[in-house]
């Protein structure tokens, strides 16, 4: 390069900016010119050579078609936003569609040193709210994201996500795309399904592996398993104004130890009902070490499993009447109470089911049994009619059983391993086929059982779990795409070692014949389920008002203010009130003596979009990203004497490297 002209260098470092309020000087070295006006998404030279590119890259017409369907030009936005569970990373992963570009990772149950989740005082407190007894759990298995709904459609305000392993539910506030609340289920030890009712009255959390309620102990044997181990459905009351789950107004329904699984809430005609499947009608439990079959076999002996049909409005009325008991602070309806008061019914379903999905009109249920090659269709009107009968036979645990023959109206043969169903806006359902590694498209028929038929099927790669479609489980699906959440990718991506990326596949469903148009590797844990929302419904903040603390959702009265920074020592506590702005901390030196407690508050006083700063300090395990306007707070004991640089970890400006300071901890 030879000599690098100084004035060009100054222009080139301008990641932050130089100055403003002025015009260019005309005649001297202060004239600094950028080489080119930087464009937003400078397009390649127009036209003419597309054929040459197609040929050179060895693309076929299908590739080109897929590229055109998914290409979002630089600088343009995606039409849809997908919230995918991050599996046992404990996070939520956010993608744009149709580009399938990764937009964000939202830490929920797992600390994250990028955004500082679990490092500052307030987010630590949020994580603590999910404590099990006295233990703070710092991992999670996020399973079922559920967007808040108004009138049965996503409203873009909140996202709920559950932690399968620890039966916790989190609320993500979509004004900030940040976790706002974590609650630990006081009765369940783990969970699987999560769904919201059509106006987000309740967030329904359903159990997975049965255990004594209230995190209790009972030796594992057949009698105890039958009598003391229990499943559960919890209906978390959501306070829409405060944006938090209210445990005081929530309730649970005790269920048999059938190993409950997914849940869907009724809507429109079926509002007030919820449907929860399960996969252990055998009441089997792990005993192969004692000579029994392994659970995979012992829990798959019966041809049918049990769907739980729950009238949650009846349950809510029952709790309000004061007849429910209270256990660990939560209202609990016993199995007997639920069975005798028109709250709980059982209905046979195909074995080893996963998806139990209500059609957009609220009239039908599509149940996918992984070991049954059909999608089983039930009429919810017929379910309700049957539930009203007084002569229903009692099944296990005295729960009345709805007759399968009166309620199931169709079976659509679609292939092996049906798992989960989503819907489009053209009257079709899409069911994933785990064993076939495929998606089947079928037509929604009528109440008489006519017209239910498969119309298309296409391969996915590989081992497809859930499907997600834009608004695909609401009253108003948007169609266009299906995303296959594939567990395995095998040969689809450039090898990156034995831990393979998962494969999120975008499928175009606008043509009669479905087709895969994009493979998106996700270098994160298995995304179990995802929901996709019209991007225009999301209205997130872009900056915070200065001094905002997300954790109390308002201005922190203790937030440091520009011009009023300082360090105050009171006894053995050092109070740091610090601000940060491009490209300095104020103050830039903090003195402490070994053993003193440091309570450190830090406000990013910027008010410009994207002007975030980081903060990390050597030796004391603090790492944060602080968005413009945000105020954070962290505490530690300065027990190690030494000189500890702290600095901005987010490349904020041309003088980012100079944005630093020292914590000096003197010996006593």
Partner 1 sequence: MKRDSGARWFAAAGMLLAVSLLLPWWEITMHAPQYPEGLHVTTWFFTVTGDVHEVDGLNHYIGFMPLAKVAMLERQAAFVVGPLFTILLLLAVPLRTRWSALLALPAATLPAVFFVDLAVWLQYAGHHLDPHAALSSSVAPWTPNIFGSGGVGQFHTDSAFGIGFYLASLASIAAIMAIANRVKNMDAA
Report the C-alpha gap between 127 and 111 in whole angstroms. Answer: 9
* Dihedral Cα 290, 296, 299, 303, nearest 10 deg: -140
Which stretch in 35-43, 98-106, 427-435, 570-578 sits in contact with partner 1 by CB under 8 A? 35-43
The CB-of-540 to partner 1 minimum distance in angstroms stands at 17
| Contact residue for partner 1 among 5, 8, 30, 71 (CB under 8 A) | 30
| Pairing mode of beta strands 374-379, 191-196 | unpaired
Query: Binding partner 1 by CB under 8 A: which of 8, 34, 49, 340?
Result: 34
Per DSSP bridges, beta strands 191-196 and 202-207 are antiparallel
Q: Which of 40, 56, 68, 223 binds partner 1 (CB under 8 A)?
A: 40
- Closest CB to partner 1 among 19 and 388? 19
Q: Which of 577, 568, 570, 627 is nearest to 600 (CA)?
A: 577
Q: Which is nearer to partner 1, 385 or 542 (CB)?
A: 542
Compare residues 6 and 139 and give the one whose CB is closer to partner 1: 6
State in angstroms the smallest separation of the CB of 76 from partner 1. 13
Cβ closest to partner 1, residue 31 vs residue 340: 31
Name residue, tokens 């795309």: 177
d(CA 141, CA 80): 25
* Minimal distance, residue 658 CB to partner 1, in Å: 8
Identify the sign of the CA torsion 164, 166, 172, 177: negative
| CB under 8 A, 24+ apart: contacts of 564-567 | 567/591
Nearest distance from C-beta of residue 545 to partner 1, angstroms? 12
The set of residues, in sequence order, having a beta carbon less than 8 Å from that of 44 and lying 6+ positions away, is none
- Please give the structure tokens belonging to residue 129: 């709210």
Closest CA to 205 of 192, 220, 218: 192
Residue 53 CB-density burial (10 A; 0-12 exposed, 13-18 middle, 19+ buried): exposed
40 or 52, CB closer to partner 1?
Answer: 40
Scanning residues 559 to 588, which ones bind partner 1 (CB under 8 A)? 581-583
CB of 8 to partner 1, least distance (A): 11
CA distances in angstroms from 212 to 207, 224, 254, listed in the order given: 12, 9, 11
Among 427, 438, 473, which residue's Cα sits nearest to residue 144? 473
Q: Tell me, what DSSP letter sits at residue 358?
A: E
Least distance from partner 1 to the Cβ atom of residue 582, Å: 6
Residue among 220 and 655 whose Cβ is closer to partner 1:
655
Interface positions, 590-609, toward partner 1 (CB under 8 A) = 606-608
For the segment 627-656, give every residue that binds partner 1 (CB under 8 A).
654-655
Using the contact rule CB under 8 A, the part of the chain among 11-19, 301-309, 404-412, 478-486 near partner 1 is 11-19
Report the residue number, 433 or 581, with the smaller CB distance to partner 1.
581
Q: Residue from 1, 2, 3, 28 that binds partner 1 (CB under 8 A)? A: 28
What 3-state DSSP class applies to 31?
A: coil
Is residue 32 at the binding interface for partner 1, with CB under 8 A as the rule?
yes
246: enclosing H helix or E strand: strand 244-255
Contacts of 393 (CB under 8 A, 6+ apart): 400, 401
Q: Is 76 in the site for partner 1 (CB under 8 A)?
A: no
The distance of closest approach from Cβ of residue 26 to partner 1 in the complex, given in angstroms and rounded to an integer, is: 8
End-to-end, the C-alpha distance of the chain in Å comes to: 54
CA distance 212 to 219: 10
State how far the Cα of 493 lies from the Cα of 178, in Å rounded to an integer: 31
15 interacts with partner 1 by CB under 8 A: yes
Q: Return the SS3 of 460.
A: coil
Tell me the closest approach of the beta carbon of residue 120 to partner 1, in angstroms: 24
Residue 542 touching partner 1 (CB under 8 A)? no
The residue whose two tokens read 């299906």 is 482
Which residues are within 8 A (CB) of 67 and not within 5 positions of it... i.e. 6 or more apart? 59
Residue 6 within binding range of partner 1, rule CB under 8 A: yes
Distance set, CA 534 to CA 247, 359, 396, 477, 531 (Å): 31, 19, 43, 10, 10
What's the closest the beta carbon of residue 11 comes to partner 1, in angstroms? 6
Q: How far is the CB of 612 from partner 1 (least distance, A)?
A: 13
For residue 633, CA distances in Å to 112, 363, 559 come to 16, 50, 9
Q: Which of 1, 22, 50, 68 binds partner 1 (CB under 8 A)?
A: 22
- Residue 11 binds to partner 1 (criterion: CB under 8 A): yes
Cα distance between residue 355 and residue 378, in whole Å: 13
Q: Of 2, 3, 4, 38, which one interacts with partner 1 (CB under 8 A)?
A: 38
Q: Between residues 545 and 642, which has the closer beta carbon with respect to partner 1?
A: 545
Count residues binding partner 1 (CB under 8 A): 36
φ and ψ of 169, to 5 deg: -125, 135
Residue ranges of E strands in 501-565: 502-508, 515-522, 530-534, 548-549, 554-555
Candidate ranges 2-10, 44-52, 61-69, 533-541; the one touching partner 1 (CB under 8 A) = 2-10
Establish if 43 lies at the interface with partner 1 (CB under 8 A).
no
CB of 542 to partner 1, least distance (A): 11
Instruction: Give CA–CA dist 469/488, Å, rounded.
Output: 20
Q: Which is nearer to partner 1, 392 or 655 (CB)?
A: 655
Residue 342 touches partner 1, criterion: CB under 8 A: no
Answer yes or no whether residue 73 interacts with partner 1 by CB under 8 A. no
> What's the min distance (Å) between Cβ of 121 and partner 1?
27
Residue closer to partner 1 by CB (options 17, 643) is 17
Q: CB 555 → partner 1: shortest distance, Å?
A: 17
Q: Which is nearer to partner 1, 33 or 321 (CB)?
A: 33
* Site residues, partner 1 (CB under 8 A): 6-7, 10-11, 14-26, 28-34, 37-38, 40, 581-583, 606-608, 654-655, 658
């Amino acid at each position: 390069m030879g000599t690098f002209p100084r004035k060009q260098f100054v222009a080139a470092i301008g990641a932050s900016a130089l100055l403003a309020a002025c015009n260019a000087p005309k005649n001297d070295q202060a004239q600094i010119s950028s080489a080119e006006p930087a464009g937003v998404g400078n397009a390649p030279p127009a036209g003419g050579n597309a054929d040459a590119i197609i040929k050179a890259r060895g693309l076929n017409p299908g590739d080109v078609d897929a590229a055109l369907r998914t290409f979002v030009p630089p600088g343009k936005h995606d039409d849809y936003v997908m919230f995918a569970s991050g599996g046992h990373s404990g996070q939520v992963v956010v993608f744009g569609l149709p580009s399938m570009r990764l937009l964000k990772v939202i830490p929920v149950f797992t600390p994250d040193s990028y955004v500082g989740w679990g490092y500052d005082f307030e987010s630590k407190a949020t994580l603590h709210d999910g404590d099990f007894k006295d233990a703070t759990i710092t991992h999670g298995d996020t399973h079922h994201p559920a967007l808040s709904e108004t009138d049965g459609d996503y409203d873009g305000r909140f996202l709920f996500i559950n932690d399968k392993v620890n039966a916790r539910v989190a609320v993500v506030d979509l004004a900030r795309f940040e976790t706002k609340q974590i609650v630990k289920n006081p009765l369940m030890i783990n969970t699987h399904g999560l769904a919201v009712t059509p106006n987000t009255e309740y967030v329904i959390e359903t159990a997975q592996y049965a255990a004594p309620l209230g995190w209790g102990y009972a030796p594992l044997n057949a009698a105890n398993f039958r009598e003391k181990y229990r499943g559960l459905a919890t209906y978390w009351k959501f306070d829409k104004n405060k944006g938090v789950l209210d445990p005081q107004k929530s309730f649970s329904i005790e269920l048999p130890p059938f190993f409950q699984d997914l849940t869907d809430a009724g809507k429109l005609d079926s509002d007030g009902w919820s449907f929860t499947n399960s996969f252990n009608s055998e009441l089997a439990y792990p005993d192969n070490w004692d000579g029994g079959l392994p659970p995979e076999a012992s829990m798959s002996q019966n041809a049918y499993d049990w769907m739980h049909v729950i009238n949650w409005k009846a349950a809510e009325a029952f709790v309000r009447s004061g007849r429910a008991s209270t256990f660990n602070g939560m209202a609990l309806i016993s199995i007997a109470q639920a069975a005798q008061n028109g709250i709980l019914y059982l209905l046979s379903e195909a074995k080893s089911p996963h998806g139990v999905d209500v059609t957009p009109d609220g009239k039908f249920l599509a149940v996918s049994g992984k070991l049954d090659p059909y999608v089983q269709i039930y009429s919810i009107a017929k379910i309700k009619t049957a539930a009203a009968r007084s002569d229903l036979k009692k099944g296990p645990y005295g729960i009345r059983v709805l007759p399968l023959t009166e309620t199931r109206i169709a079976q659509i043969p679609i292939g092996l391993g049906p798992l989960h169903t989503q819907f489009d806006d053209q009257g079709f359902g899409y069911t994933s086929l785990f064993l076939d590694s495929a998606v089947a498209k079928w037509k929604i028929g009528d109440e008489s059982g006519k017209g239910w038929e498969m119309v298309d099927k296409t391969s996915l790669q590989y081992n497809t779990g859930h499907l997600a479609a834009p608004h695909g489980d609401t009253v108003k699906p948007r169609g266009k795409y299906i995303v296959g959440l594939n567990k395995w990718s095998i040969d689809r991506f450039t090898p990156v070692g034995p831990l393979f990326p998962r494969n999120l596949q975008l499928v175009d469903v606008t043509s009669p014949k479905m087709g895969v148009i994009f493979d998106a590797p996700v270098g994160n844990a298995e995304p179990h389920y995802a929901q996709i929302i019209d991007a225009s419904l999301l209205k997130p903040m872009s900056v915070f008002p200065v001094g905002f603390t997300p954790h109390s959702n308002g201005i922190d009265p203790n937030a440091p203010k520009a011009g009023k920074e300082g360090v105050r020592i009171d006894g053995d506590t050092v109070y740091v009130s610090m601000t940060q702005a491009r490209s300095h901390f104020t103050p830039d030196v903090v003195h402490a003596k070994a053993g003193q407690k440091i309570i450190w508050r830090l406000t990013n006083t910027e008010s410009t979009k994207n002007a975030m700063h980081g903060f990390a300090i050597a030796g004391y395990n603090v790492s944060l990203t602080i968005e413009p306007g945000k105020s954070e707070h962290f505490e530690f004991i300065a027990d190690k004497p030494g000189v500890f640089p702290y600095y901005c970890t987010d490349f904020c400006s041309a003088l980012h490297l100079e944005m630093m300071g020292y914590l000096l901890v003197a010996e006593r």
